């Protein structure tokens, strides 16, 4: 039985990584044109999930559209950026592949199913548009795939961009266009909705969480005065009544409940971890929590792009170690411990973020996920990431 694997923290051991730089396809007509291949798509050639193509594994990779910064303002121009790639596999066989293309505030995710094999042994596959997409995907020719798809998808782009979302609420409602393309020949293509790529989020039972949310204020989406988009497209910097928060739309009750519970355990402790500051959109399918916004320079996974002495890197390690010690003393387990979940703030101090739980291969073994031992295992691997053990 196959299943989608969009939560990298909860991946089933498949090798998944977050690519941290964007690529763009700029053009005179806003959406079609030449592409400048850069590091992000080059790094995609090293992603896992492809196996030896005899043993495919379901995979999803997000591309950070903000580049080296954490958040970006809503774009004023219509530059096309690769936003994600991924595929669905069953019993080691590739079934469906997709690629995301973000233009303005809309993320277009285009999926294509693997056509059935020829019925005759010597029969060549029909060179349909879908078959060509699959061939490019299998060869990891992601830039060529984007350039191939842009002319085909231009009518769809133009239709949706004629009335683009402008508010946070409209971005949440209309900012994702997920479609599947089908074709019978080399020229004809049909677009159809394909919500299976990103299944609709479950409604959150906030009543079940009220014990951990006493005196936590509730805000409506309409109260958001302005917003910026997280580079991964999953979180937002929002301003409400002049105060800035990080808004995390809830994905599911379990991870949400865990994060709230863990963070509430250390309220009052002098720790560099976020606090639960509010609830946003409680009566909508986009409800989520507002937590402390950390004005940051970078995550620790990207420290090599910034000047950092050995002494400063040792300071970060010591800060993380001490924070984990105090968390554990207060019966609080970090969970998805890794360098990507360590934020360096504007004062160059280290914060621990993301208490939803899970694990990431290479940092925490699956059998140790969401345990104190898992936190300590990740801590033992942090010197390698910080190049403190060379």
If pLDDT is split at 50, 70 and 90, which confidence band does 53 have? low
pLDDT at 312: 96
pLDDT of residue 318 exceeding 90, the answer is yes
pLDDT at 73: 66
Q: For the full predicted model, state whether its pTM sits above 0.85.
A: no
- Mean pLDDT in residue range 5-33: 36
Same fold, 206-292 and 296-385: no
If pLDDT is split at 50, 70 and 90, which confidence band does 379 have? very high
pLDDT at 25: 40
CATH of 296-385, one of 1.10.510.10, 3.30.43.10, 3.40.30.160, 1.10.10.10: 1.10.510.10
276 strand-pairing partners: 291
If pLDDT is split at 50, 70 and 90, which confidence band does 385 have? very high
If pLDDT is split at 50, 70 and 90, which confidence band does 356 have? very high
- Mean pLDDT in residue range 107-121: 86
User: Tokens in use for 315?
Assistant: 């300071």
pLDDT at 17: 34
pLDDT of residue 314 exceeding 90, the answer is yes
- Mean pLDDT in residue range 60-83: 69
**DSSP element (H, E) containing 36:** strand 35-36
Q: How do the residues of the chain divide into helix, strand and coil, expressed in percent and rounded to 5?
A: 30, 25, 45
End-to-end CA distance of the chain, in Å? 43
CATH of 206-292, one of 1.10.3470, 1.10.4030, 3.90.1580, 3.30.200: 3.30.200
Q: Residues 312, 303: contact at Cβ < 8 Å? A: no
pLDDT at 7: 35
Length of the chain in residues, anyone?
390
Highest mean pLDDT among 5-14, 50-59, 195-204, 301-310: 301-310
Each residue's pLDDT tens digit, 257-283 = 999 999 999 998 999 999 999 999 998
pLDDT at 79: 79
Domain residue ranges of the chain, discontinuous segments joined by +: 8-197, 206-292, 296-385
Higher pLDDT, 45 or 81: 81
Q: Rounded distance, CA 164 to CA 211, Å?
A: 39
Closest CA to 171 of 71, 259, 104, 99: 104
User: Tokens in use for 58?
Assistant: 């379901």
> Other C-beta atoms within 10 Å of 83: how many?
21
Three-class HEC string of 203-219: CCCHHHHHHHCCCCCEE
**DSSP element (H, E) containing 192:** strand 190-193
């Amino acid at each position: 039985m196959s299943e989608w694997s969009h939560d990298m923290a909860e991946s089933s051991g498949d090798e998944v990584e977050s690519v941290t730089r964007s690529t763009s396809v700029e053009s005179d007509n806003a959406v079609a044109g030449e592409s400048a291949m850069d590091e992000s798509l080059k790094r995609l050639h090293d992603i896992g999930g492809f196996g030896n193509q005899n043993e495919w594994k379901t995979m999803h990779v997000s591309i950070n559209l903000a580049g080296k910064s954490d958040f970006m303002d809503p774009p004023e121009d219509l530059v096309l950026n690769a936003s994600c790639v991924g595929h669905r596999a069953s019993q080691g066989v590739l079934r469906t592949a997709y690629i995301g293309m973000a233009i303005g505030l809309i993320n277009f995710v285009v999926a294509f199913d693997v056509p059935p094999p020829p019925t005759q042994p010597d029969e060549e596959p029909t060179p349909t548009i879908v078959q060509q997409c699959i061939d490019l995907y299998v060869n990891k020719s992601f830039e060529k795939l984007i350039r191939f798809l842009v002319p085909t998808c231009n009518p769809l782009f133009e239709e949706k961009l004629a009335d683009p979302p402008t508010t946070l609420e409209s971005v949440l409602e209309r900012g994702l266009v997920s479609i599947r393309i089908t074709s019978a020949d080399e020229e004809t293509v049909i677009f159809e909705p394909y919500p299976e790529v990103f299944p609709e989020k479950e409604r959150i039972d906030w009543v079940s969480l009220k014990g951990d949310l006493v005196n936590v204020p509730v805000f409506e989406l309409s109260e958001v005065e302005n917003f910026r988009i997280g580079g991964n497209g999953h979180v937002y910097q929002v301003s409400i009544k002049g105060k800035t928060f990080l808004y995390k739309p809830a994905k599911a009750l379990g991870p949400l409940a865990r994060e709230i519970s863990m963070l509430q355990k250390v309220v009052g402790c002098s720790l560099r971890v976020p606090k639960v500051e509010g609830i946003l959109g409680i009566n909508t399918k986009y409800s989520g929590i507002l937590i402390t916004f950390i004005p940051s320079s970078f995550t620790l996974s990207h420290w090599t792009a910034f000047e950092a002495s050995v002494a400063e890197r040792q300071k970060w390690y010591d800060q993380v170690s001490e924070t984990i010690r105090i968390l554990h003393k207060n019966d609080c387990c970090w969970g998805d411990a890794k360098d990507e979940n360590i934020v360096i703030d504007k004062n160059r101090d280290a914060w621990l973020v993301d208490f939803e739980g899970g694990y990431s291969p290479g940092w925490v073994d699956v059998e140790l996920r969401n345990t104190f031992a898992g936190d300590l295992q990740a801590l033992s691997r942090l010197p390698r990431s910080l190049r403190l053990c060379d």
